[in-house]
């Protein structure tokens, strides 16, 4: 699953205000829909893909996105350097 950065802070829908939370805690994922986005939705666009918030209905089709809250974890990877005999 690919995660895309947000171009602006994630709005708090309950208050309609912009969140003061760090944008790094939220990412966008593609829902699988490809259509013109409607007001209040998010879509993916750009040469370096990012998620954009729709302020008014658009007429051009884009991949529709939804916002997810993420937790960054550390993964340990092992690589064999040599075999000892």
Domain ranges of the chain: 1-85
Closest CA to 42 of 3, 1, 7, 2: 7
User: Which tokens go with 74?
Assistant: 């550390």
Residue 23, φ and ψ in degrees, nearest 5: -65, -20
State the pLDDT at residue 84.
84
Q: What single DSSP character describes residue 25?
A: G
State the pLDDT at residue 24.
58
State the pLDDT at residue 21.
52
Strand partners, 11: 18
Closest CA to 42 of 64, 12, 9: 64
State the pLDDT at residue 51.
93
State the pLDDT at residue 12.
54
User: Mean pLDDT per segment of 10 residues, for the chain of length 85 residues?
Assistant: 83 51 74 95 95 93 92 86 83
> Structure pTM?
0.72
């Amino acid at each position: 699953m690919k995660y895309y950065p947000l171009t602006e802070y994630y709005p708090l829908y309950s208050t309609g205000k912009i969140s003061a939370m760090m944008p790094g805690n939220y990412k966008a994922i593609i829902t699988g829909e490809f259509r013109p986005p409607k007001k209040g939705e998010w879509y993916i666009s750009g040469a370096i893909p990012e998620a954009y918030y729709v302020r008014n209905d658009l007429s051009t089709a884009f991949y529709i996105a939804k916002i997810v809250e993420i937790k960054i974890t550390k993964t340990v990877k092992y690589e064999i350097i040599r075999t000892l005999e």
